Amino acid sequence: MGRKLFGFGFGRRHNRKRRHRLDISGKELFLSDLQAGERVRVVAVGGSEHFRIRLMEMGILIGDIIEVSKYAPLQDPMEIIVKGYHLALRVSDSEKIIVEYLKD
């Protein structure tokens, strides 16, 4: 039996990987697909529950506007601007965030 820490169980019976599928019709645009300077709105966040909670704690919520500031020289991590502050995010993590371009 696993130990519980902050409401998350860690142990043998909690080691199953749960994949949350996102039902979004049409072509999906991921945060990792964007170039520096582009602004988008968050549509959905995939990944594990722990990952989604971590993003919420960092201030990335559905409906928020994100601007890609720049990429590191080796293209990982990327720097984004959320709610006026700069945040470095791994490209592998940004592949789980589905976004849409802002409508003018």
**Domain spans, the chain:** 27-101
Q: Please tell me the distance from the alpha carbon of residue 44 to that of residue 22, in angstroms, as a whole number.
A: 7
Fold of 27-101: SH3 type barrels. (2.30.30)
Question: How far separated are the first and last CA of the chain, in Å rounded?
Answer: 53
Q: What angle do CA 31, 62, 25 make, to 5 degrees?
A: 70
Can you read off the two tokens belonging to residue 104?
């003018």
Whether pTM exceeds 0.75: no
pLDDT value at residue 9: 46
Local mean pLDDT, 10-residue blocks, the chain (104 residues): 46 43 62 91 91 91 93 90 93 92 82
Instruction: Name the DSSP class of 47.
Output: S
